[in-house]
Amino acid sequence: MKTKRPLVIFIIGVSGVGKSTIGNLLSKQLSIPFFDGDDFHPKKNKTKMATGQPLNDEDRYEWLIRLNNLAKENLQYNSCIIASSALKESYRIILKKDIETNVKWILLNGSFVQVLDRINKRKNHFMPTSLLNSQFESLEVPLEALQIDITNSPKKIVTIIEDELLKKSEFGIIGLGVMGKSLSRNFASKGFVISIYNRHAKGLEENVALSFKKEFSELSNSMPFDKLQDFVNSLQQPRKIMLMVNAGETVDIVIEQLVHYLSENDTVIDGGNSHYNDTQRRVNFLKKKNIHFIGAGISGGEEGALKGPSIMPGGNEKAYKIVQPYLEVIAAKDDKGNPCCNYIGKNGSGHFIKIIHNGIEYVEMQLLAEVYQILRTIDNNPEQIANILSSWKSEVDSYLLEITIDILKKKEGEKWLIDEILDKAGNKGTGNWATITTTELGIPSTMIGSALFARYLSSFKEERIALKNNLINNIKKKSNVNIEDLLKAYQLARLINHHQGFKLIFEASKSNSWELNLSEIARIWTNGCIIRSPLMNELSETFKETDNIFFSKKMIAQIKKLRPSLNNIVSQSILNQIPIPSLSEAVNFLNGYSEANSSANLIQAQRDYFGAHTYQRINDPTGEYYHTNWKSKSYD
Ligand code: 6PG
C-alpha cells in the first residue's frame, strides 16, 4: 500500500456484483486479509433474508456495528478488505465511524439486467433475486467511492484498484507558496499520500515541487509535478485537489487549465482568500461539468497551515463529505479535541465567513495598535507596554495579544525593532471586502470600516508629516490614563467588535438563506485562526442561547461594568488628540445602539423636505408613509 497508514477497503454494491470475488482476488494480490460481510450477519438476519424478507435498518444496525468493529480490530495490525453492500449513506456512516481517514470505498457498478443475470446463474445464494429490485432502489451512490464497471473482468477490476491504491496519491495541492507548502507538509505528516504541483516558469519557478519534496522528510512519499496533466493523472479517483494560488484571476486561470483533465465527481477546493461571489460563480461553472467546488476559508498563517489551521468550507454539502476526512484531520483542534473545521453552508458561505473573520481580525489588530499608541503617549517604552499587555492575559488573552507582546519585546541591537518599522499599513483586500459587504447588506458593522480606514490613513505618511508641522498645537500629550481603565475599554471594544462581526454573519445568512450556525462558527474560530481567543470559546456558548450577544444577560452585565472605562479612555484620548478610530467607533456604536430615540427623525424630515421621500409617524402603527409640504403657511 502506498499510504503509510493502514486502510480498510470496503468493496460495496448491490448483491451479485461480485464483491466477494473481487475481495478474494484483491486480498491475494495485496497480501492483506479479506472478510465477506455476509459472514458477519447475526443468525436472525440470515434466517430473515432466506425467507425472502428484506432486512430493515434495525436488523442491519448490529451487523454494521460488527463490521465497524472488525475494521477497527484489523486496523490495529494491518490493512484489510471487507465486502458489504453498504448501499445507504447511513450504513456507511456506521461502517466508517471513528476510522474515516482509513477507509476507502470501491463501488462495483452494474446494470440491473447484468446483475440479475449473474444472480440467476448462482447456486445456493441466500439472497433471493426478488430482493434485487429493492437493492437498486436503496443504492445511494457514495460520491467519495472509486466506481468500477463490472463489465471489466475481475482481473482488470483488481488491477484498477491496485493501480489506484498503490500508484496514485490521495490528495493534490496546486500552488507551493508559503501556505501551499505548509499545508502540504501538514497533509503528509498526517500520513496522507499527496501530489504537489507548482507551475513551471522559466528562470523564476523551476522544479519547485521536486526541490520542496527533497527538503522535507515527511514528503518522502509524495509525488512532485510541474506538468498539470501528470499531476491530475497521479490522483486517485474521485480526485480531490486543493488550490493554494493567489486569489482573483489566477484561480480562474488555474481552473480553466485544470478542468480539461478532470472527470465528473472530482472535487476542487479553493483554500485562498477568494471573494465569496467569485466562489459562487465558480461553483456554478463547475457544476455544469459535474465537478464539485468547495470554497474554503483557511486561517492561521504559515504556522497554522503547518500545525493546524481553522478551516471554513462552503459549497455543496455532499461534496464536502468527500473531502471532510482530509480537511478535518489537518485542522486545528478545539479544547474538546474536535476539529476546527466543519461544513459552513451552501454556495460561497465558507469564503464569506473568512472575509468577516478578516474584518474582525483587522479590528482586533487596530484596537491593539490604539492601546499601544495610548501607552506610548504616556511614556512607556515597548518593553513596558509588553509587560502591561502580559499582565492583561488573564482577562483578555488572544493570539493577537500574544504576538503583539512578542513584537514589542523584539530588539535589534540596542533598538526596539518596532521603532524601525515604517508606519504605513498594508492590506491584501479582505478588510476592504468586509467593509463593502457590511455596507451592501446595510448592517452597521462600523468598526471594520474604522480599522480599514485607519490603515488607509496611515499610508498618507508624507501628508501626515506635513500636517503635524502645519497644525502645531499646544496640547501636551500627557493624560492620566488609568491602566485598569484602558484594559476595560479594550475589553469592551473587543466585545463590540465581535458582536458586529457575528451580526454581519447572522444578517448575511438570513438574506442568503445560508442557515449559518453562529455557535459552530465561533467554535471553529477557537483555535488555529488569527482571531482565536478565550472570548471566542465564550461566544460559542453564548450563541447557543441567542443570536445577538447584546441580548445575553451575562454580556449586558459586562457591558454595563466596562462602559464607563471605555467612555473615559476615548474622551481622554480625544482631548489629547490621539487617533483612536476603532475605540471611539465602539463608543459611538454603543451609544447609538442603546439609544431608544435617535436623531433619525430629523434625517427623515430632511429627506422628505428636499426629495419628498416621505416618513412614517410614531403614532401610526399601520406603517403608513406621509409627506408634508414643509413650506406651507405655518413655516412662512
Ligand atoms: C488568516 C489571515 C490571512 C492573511 C490575510 C490578511 O486568517 O490567516 O487573515 O488570511 O493575513 O491575507 O492580510 P492583510 O492584512 O494583508 O489584508
Please count the other Cβ atoms lying within 10 Å of the Cβ belonging to residue 593. Answer: 14
Mean pLDDT of 435-464: 97
pLDDT tens, position by position, 21-61 = 999 999 999 999 999 999 999 999 988 888 877 788 899 99
The ligand 1 atom nearest the CA atom of 273: 10
pLDDT at site 524? 98
Which distant-in-sequence residues (6+ apart) come within 8 Å of 428 by Cβ? Answer: 273
Q: What percent of the chain has pLDDT over 90?
A: 88
User: Among 82-86, 113-117, 499-503, whose mean pLDDT is lowest?
Assistant: 113-117
Query: Between these two residues, 474 and 443, which has the higher pLDDT value?
Result: 443
Mean pLDDT of 383-387: 98
| Contact in structure between 148 and 108 (CB atoms under 8 Å) | yes
Mean pLDDT of 237-262: 97
Tell me the C-alpha distance between 569 and 341, whole Å: 38
Domains of the chain from N-terminus onward? 8-166 (3.40.50.300), 171-347 (3.40.50.720), 355-593 (1.10.1040.10), 597-636 (1.20.5.320)
Burial of 148 (0-12, 13-18, 19+ CB in 10 A): buried
To the nearest 10°, report the CA torsion of 365, 368, 373, 374: 150
- What's the 272 CA to ligand 1 centre distance in angstroms? 10
Tell me the C-alpha distance between 66 and 75, whole Å: 14
DSSP single-letter state for residue 55: P
Burial of 521 (0-12, 13-18, 19+ CB in 10 A): buried
pLDDT tens, position by position, 579-618 = 999 999 999 999 999 999 999 999 999 999 999 999 999 9
pLDDT at site 488? 98
| Contact in structure between 344 and 320 (CB atoms under 8 Å) | no
Residue nearest to atom 9 of ligand 1 (CA): 358
Residue 467 pLDDT greater than 60, yes or no: yes
DSSP single-letter state for residue 166: I
pLDDT at site 477? 61
Mean pLDDT of 479-497: 94
pLDDT tens, position by position, 278-327 = 999 999 999 999 999 999 999 999 999 999 999 999 999 999 999 999 99
Catalytic residue among 164, 170, 361, 364: 361
Give me the residue label for grid cell 500545525. 307
634: confidence class by pLDDT, cuts 50, 70, 90:
low
Tell me which of 428, 527, 533 to substitute to probe ligand 1's pocket, judged by most ligand atoms within 8 Å of the beta carbon.
428
User: Among 15-19, 63-67, 118-122, 583-587, whose mean pLDDT is lowest?
Assistant: 118-122
Tell me which of 178, 302, 358, 362 to substitute to probe ligand 1's pocket, judged by most ligand atoms within 8 Å of the beta carbon.
358
The answer to whether the bond into 339 is cis (omega within 30° of 0) is no
| Secondary structure of 381-420 as H, E, C letters | CHHHHHHHHHHCHHHHCCHHHHHHHHHHHCEECCEEHHHH
Do strands 223-225 and 240-243 pair parallel, antiparallel, or not at all (unpaired)? unpaired
Share the mean pLDDT of the chain. 94
pLDDT at site 472? 67
pLDDT at site 191? 92
Length of the chain measured in residues = 636
493: confidence class by pLDDT, cuts 50, 70, 90:
very high
Cell of 141: 451512490
pLDDT at site 476? 60
Is residue 361 among the annotated active site residues?
A: yes
The CA distances from residue 354 to 238, 273, 299, 300, 402, in Å, are 27, 7, 8, 11, 22
| Contact in structure between 353 and 342 (CB atoms under 8 Å) | no
Please count the other Cβ atoms lying within 10 Å of the Cβ belonging to residue 89. Answer: 13
pLDDT at site 123? 65
Tell me the C-alpha distance between 291 and 322, whole Å: 12
Burial of 99 (0-12, 13-18, 19+ CB in 10 A): middle
Q: What percent of the chain has pLDDT over 70?
A: 96
| Contact in structure between 207 and 185 (CB atoms under 8 Å) | no
pTM, two decimal places:
0.92
| Contact in structure between 357 and 525 (CB atoms under 8 Å) | yes
Give me the residue label for grid cell 508641522. 469
Residue 471 pLDDT greater than 90, yes or no: no
Residue 18 pLDDT greater than 70, yes or no: yes
User: Among 365-379, 578-592, 622-636, whose mean pLDDT is lowest?
Assistant: 622-636
Tell me the C-alpha distance between 384 and 407, whole Å: 12
pLDDT at site 54? 75
